[in-house]
C-alpha cells in the first residue's frame, strides 16, 4: 500500500430501496469497528439525496454511478454532474464496464463525463478493464493502457481516481490474483506518471468480486489504493469487514 489514503467504495448498481438504505445506515451507525480508508457508497440515483441524509454524521461519502457529459439539457433519463453535487454527492463512477456494455459508452465519452464531473467539483472514478478474451490473448496491459489514456480528463489528475476492474471478475466470483493485480496497477501507475506529474496522486482501486475473504490480500497488494465493491457492498457486515481489512 502506498502513502495514498485508501478508498473503500461501494457500488450498489441497480439495487436498493429506501428500506435497504435505512438498514444499511443503521448497521453502519451501530458499527464499532474502524477503517484507515475513506468510505464511499454509490447508491442508485433515486437514493442519492436520502443516502446523504441517512449517513449524516458518519464518515461515509456518497457518489453517483454515472453522469452525463453535459451540465444540463434535453437528455431524458440522464443525470448531470451538478445534480449529483447539489444532492450532496462528492464522487461519481464513470465508464463502468456495465455502462460500456449496456450503453456502448466509448473512452471518449467517458473522458467527457470525467471532465464534467471535475467541473462540477466531483471526484470521478474512471473504470477500465479487459475482457476474458483480451486477457487470454495477452492483451491486458495494452487494453487497459489504451482505455486509460482515452478515458482520462485532460489536465491535472490530482482529483482523479482510477478503478481497474477486469470484466471477467465483475459479479462472477472470480478475482484477479495478487500478481495479476500488481502487474496491471504497476503499469497503470507508470502510464499515469508519464502523462502528468500529478499522476502520483491518482488512487488506483481494484474491483471485481472483492469480498471479506480476499480484501486484506488485495488491499496489501503493491499500488492498490483501495477497492470498488459491488455485490458485497450491499451487505453492511461485508462492507464493514472489507473496510476493516484496511487497518486503522
Ligand atoms: P462485484 O462488482 O464486486 O459485484 O464483482 C464490482 C463492480 O462492478 O464495481
Closest ligand 1 atom, residue 208 Cα: 5
- Substitution site in 169, 176, 229 for ligand 1 pocket (most atoms within 8 Å of beta carbon): 229
Closest by CA to 163, choosing from 114, 202, 126, 199, is: 126
Q: Rounded to 5 degrees, what are φ and ψ at 40?
A: -145, 135
Residue nearest to atom 2 of ligand 1 (CA): 230
> How remote is the C-alpha of 16 from its chain's centroid?
18
Tell me what pLDDT residue 247 has.
57
Query: Which residues, 6 or more positions from 90, have their beta carbon under 8 angstroms from its beta carbon?
Result: 61, 62, 63, 121, 122, 123
Per the annotation, the verdict on 115 as an active-site residue is no
**Which of 7, 8, 11 to probe ligand 1 with, by most ligand atoms within 8 A of CB?**
11
**Catalytic residue, candidates 98, 105, 115, 165:** 165
Tens-place pLDDT, residues 131-148: 999 999 999 999 999 999
Pull the grid cell for residue 147: 482505455
Tell me the best of 14, 41, 173, 210 to mutate to test the pocket of ligand 1, counting ligand atoms within 8 Å of each CB and taking the most: 210
Q: Which atom of ligand 1 is nearest the CA belonging to 209?
A: 5
Closest atom of ligand 1 relative to the 172 alpha carbon? 5
Average pLDDT on 168-189 reads: 94
Q: Whose CA is nearest to atom 9 of ligand 1?
A: 230
**pLDDT tens, residue by residue, 94-115:** 999 999 999 999 999 999 999 9
Select which of 96, 115, 130, 187 is catalytic.
96
pLDDT in tens, 17-41: 999 999 999 999 999 988 889 999 9
Tell me what pLDDT residue 1 has. Answer: 40
**For 184-232, what is each residue's pLDDT tens digit?**
999 999 999 999 888 999 999 999 999 999 999 999 999 999 999 999 9
Query: Across residues 84-103, what is the average pLDDT?
Result: 98
CA 215 to each of CA 97, 142, 220: distance values in angstroms, whole numbers, following the listed order: 21, 26, 8
Contact 175 CB / ligand 1 (< 6 Å)? no
d(CA 50, CA 174): 33
Residue 82 has pLDDT above 80, yes or no: yes
Whether 145 sits among the annotated catalytic residues: the reply is: no
Within 10 A of 56 (CB to CB), how many other CB atoms are there?
Answer: 11
3 state SS of 95: coil
Amino acid at each position: 500500500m502506498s502513502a495514498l489514503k485508501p478508498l473503500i467504495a461501494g457500488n450498489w448498481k441497480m439495487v436498493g430501496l429506501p428500506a435497504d438504505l435505512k438498514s444499511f445506515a443503521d448497521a453502519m451507525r451501530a458499527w464499532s469497528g474502524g477503517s484507515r480508508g475513506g468510505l464511499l457508497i454509490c447508491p442508485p440515483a433515486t437514493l442519492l439525496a436520502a443516502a446523504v441524509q441517512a449517513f449524516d454524521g458518519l464518515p461515509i461519502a456518497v457518489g453517483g454511478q454515472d453522469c452525463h457529459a453535459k451540465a444540463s439539457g434535453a437528455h431524458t433519463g440522464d443525470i448531470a454532474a451538478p445534480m449529483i453535487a447539489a444532492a450532496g454527492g462528492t464522487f461519481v463512477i464513470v465508464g463502468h464496464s456495465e455502462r460500456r456494455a449496456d450503453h456502448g459508452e466509448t473512452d471518449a465519452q467517458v473522458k467527457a463525463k470525467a471532465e464534467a464531473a471535475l467541473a462540477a467539483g466531483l471526484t470521478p472514478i474512471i473504470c477500465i478493464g479487459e475482457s476474458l478474451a483480451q486477457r487470454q490473448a495477452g492483451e491486458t496491459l495494452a487494453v487497459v493502457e489504451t482505455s486509460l489514456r482515452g478515458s482520462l480528463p485532460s489536465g491535472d489528475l490530482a482529483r482523479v481516481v482510477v478503478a481497474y476492474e477486469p470484466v471477467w471478475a465483475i459479479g462472477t466470483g472470480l478475482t484477479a490474483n495478487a500478481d495479476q493485480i500488481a502487474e496491471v496497477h504497476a503499469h497503470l501507475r507508470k502510464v499515469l506518471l508519464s502523462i502528468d506529474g500529478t499522476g502520483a496522486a491518482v488512487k488506483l482501486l481494484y474491483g471485481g468480486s472483492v469480498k471479506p475473504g480476499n480484501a486484506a490480500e488485495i488491499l496489501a497488494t503493491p499500488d492498490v489504493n483501495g477497492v470498488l465493491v459491488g455485490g458485497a457492498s450491499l451487505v453492511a457486515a461485508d462492507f464493514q469487514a472489507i473496510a476493516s481489512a484496511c487497518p486503522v
